[in-house]
Amino acid sequence: MNNSCKKLSGLFVALFTIALTLISADITHAAGAGTAGNPDAGGKIFKQYCAVCHSTGTNKIVGPGLEGVTTRVPQPYAEWMHKWIKNNAAVLKTDAYAQKIFADNGKVSMTVFDGTLTDAQIDDVIAFLANPPKEESTASAGANTGGAAAAAGTEDEGSHITMVLLIVVLALLILTLVLRSVRKSLQGAVNKMKGIAPPADRTLWQDTKYWVRTHKLATACINLFLVAIFLVYGWEYLWGIDVTPGYHPSQPINFSHQVHAGTNSIACIYCHSGAEKGKVAGIPTLNVCMNCHKGIQGSNPEYKKEIEKIYYAAGWDPAKGAYSNPSHPVIWNRVHSLPDFAYFNHSQHVVVGKLQCQKCHGPVETYTTDQQFAPLTMGWCVNCHRETPVHMDSNGYYTKIHQALMAKYPGKTITEADMGGLECGKCHY
């Protein structure tokens, strides 16, 4: 009897444990995933259909921010949200919570997605909102790749060469002093053996003057050599004034090209619209930033901090969804600066020449804050004109010139140099 009871008790405990496990799994599933939807697919659908009016944060755009929405709506949230997204107009007729949020948000009607999104797509959106992706922190500004890394390598190499030269000079100086002492000792010993007075005790400066007087040809050669070195290094120094590849100033807002142009593949022209229309590419206004950041607040603390700076500058109140705060100017630090006597037109190179931004600015999509990549010297530009082939079909305005050049240089690749790209007046007038 006792054995039977023990067996039954054990079986009961096992069944109870299994039941608790299944219930816990069900609760976890309901609290976590909620639906069988695909969050990745839901994210794409959300960007296409929902991001115009809703953010995944707390800020209001047209409708409320959707951070934590699965805990605010009636439960089970997946069932209620599915009905709401599919046909919110029908839910509004009978649901008190739906009527409340409708009134709280200015009674702005939401799009009815019945017939636009399938049930599976709606489940994907709900899964995305239940498990929004977290942004990863980017490397610090000092960890930029591309031009900054190359510049850092060049700087380290230059420092290494300078250190080696200093060590060599110091070693030669010590060797000179040692040899001078040895010579003086040997001369004293020789004089003692010959029974004559020891040599006069002269200073190093006196010895140097004596050597110069007695070795005039060698002194002249050494002076010519030193003057040549001074002229070469002086010329290099003067030529390098304001030539600063790798220059990477700090900025009031740490705008990351790596996140925008790299991760999110935003075209350069979207922000720098002047590049295909005029001389200057231009710094985008805060209105361009706010086109996206009305809804995108960032989930990473590092991003949030920088986006808050945009809101402060633009006077945007994310809680109210309005420009109700005072605006403040952003004082950017200039990165590229051509001298006034050199003319450069972005549109000529971007539209007609069809050059990629990376040609002059390097792998911008890997940078955090911007930096200078190319030296932008006259020699660098002239060399580019000599090597860059012309797009013969780029602009009908040049058709006649292109045909004449192809007839003049049959079988030759026509470069900018052949188009007059080396004429002084092209850049200096």
Q: What string of pLDDT tens digits covers the 429 residues of the chain?
A: 445 444 444 444 444 444 444 444 444 444 444 456 788 888 888 877 887 778 777 777 777 888 888 888 888 888 888 888 888 888 888 888 888 888 887 777 788 888 788 888 888 888 888 887 665 444 444 444 444 444 455 556 666 777 888 898 888 888 888 887 888 888 888 888 888 877 777 787 888 888 889 999 999 999 999 999 999 999 988 888 888 898 999 999 999 999 999 988 899 999 999 999 899 998 999 999 999 898 888 778 888 999 999 999 999 998 888 999 999 999 999 999 888 899 999 999 998 888 999 999 999 999 988 999 999 999 999 999 999 888 887 667 788 888 888 898 888 888 999 888 899 998 997
Q: CB neighbours (10 Å) of residue 370?
A: 23
Q: How many angstroms separate the Cα of 183 from the Cα of each of 177, 178, 188, 390, 402?
A: 10, 9, 8, 70, 76
What per-residue confidence (pLDDT) applies to 203? 80
Q: Which residues partner with 389 through β-bridges? A: 415
**What residues are paired with 415 via a beta bridge?**
389
For residues 146 and 245, is the Cβ–Cβ distance under 8 A? no
Are the CB atoms for 167 and 274 separated by under 8 Å? no
Backbone angles phi, psi at 317, to 5 degrees: -105, 105
Quote the DSSP letter at residue 258: I
Residues in the chain: 429
- 30, 76 contact by CB (below 8 A): yes
CB atoms within 10 A of CB 78: 21
Q: Measure the CA–CA gap between 333 and 371, rounded to whole angstroms.
A: 11
Rounded to an integer, what distance in angstroms lies between the CA atom of residue 290 and that of residue 318? 11
> Which positions ≥6 away from 262 have C-beta within 8 Å?
365, 366
- Residue 147: the pLDDT is 47
Q: How far is CA 57 from CA 43, 61, 89, 272, in A?
A: 14, 10, 24, 27
- Residue 115's pLDDT is 77
The CATH fold of domain 39-130? Cytochrome Bc1 Complex; Chain D, domain 2 (1.10.760)
Q: Are 368 and 139 in contact (CB under 8 A)?
A: yes
Do residues 256 and 138 lie in contact, with contact meaning Cβ atoms separated by under 8 Å?
Answer: yes
Dihedral-angle region of residue 26 (phi above 0 means left; psi in -120 to 50 means alpha; beta otherwise) = alpha
Q: Say how many C-beta atoms besides its own lie within 10 A of residue 340's C-beta.
A: 6
Chain centroid to CA 222: how far?
A: 50
- Residue 143, pLDDT score: 41
Confidence (pLDDT) at 253: 94
Whole-number pLDDT of residue 135: 52
Cα distance between the two ends of the chain:
112
The whole-angstrom separation of Cα 123 and Cα 134 is: 20
| Cα separation, 359 vs 176, whole angstroms | 52
- How many C-beta atoms surround the C-beta of residue 314 within 10 A? 20
The Cα diameter of the chain in Å comes to 130
pLDDT at 116: 81
State the pLDDT at residue 159: 67
Structure tokens at 83: 């009905």
- What gap in Å lies between CA 120 and CA 142, rounded to an integer? 45
CA atoms in the 13 A half-sphere facing the CB of 339: 12
Helices 147-194 and 204-214 meet at what angle, rounded to 10?
90
- Can you tell me the distance from the alpha carbon of 300 to that of 156, in angstroms, rounded to the nearest whole number? 34
Q: What are the boundaries of each domain within the chain?
A: 1-29, 39-130, 158-201, 205-241, 377-429
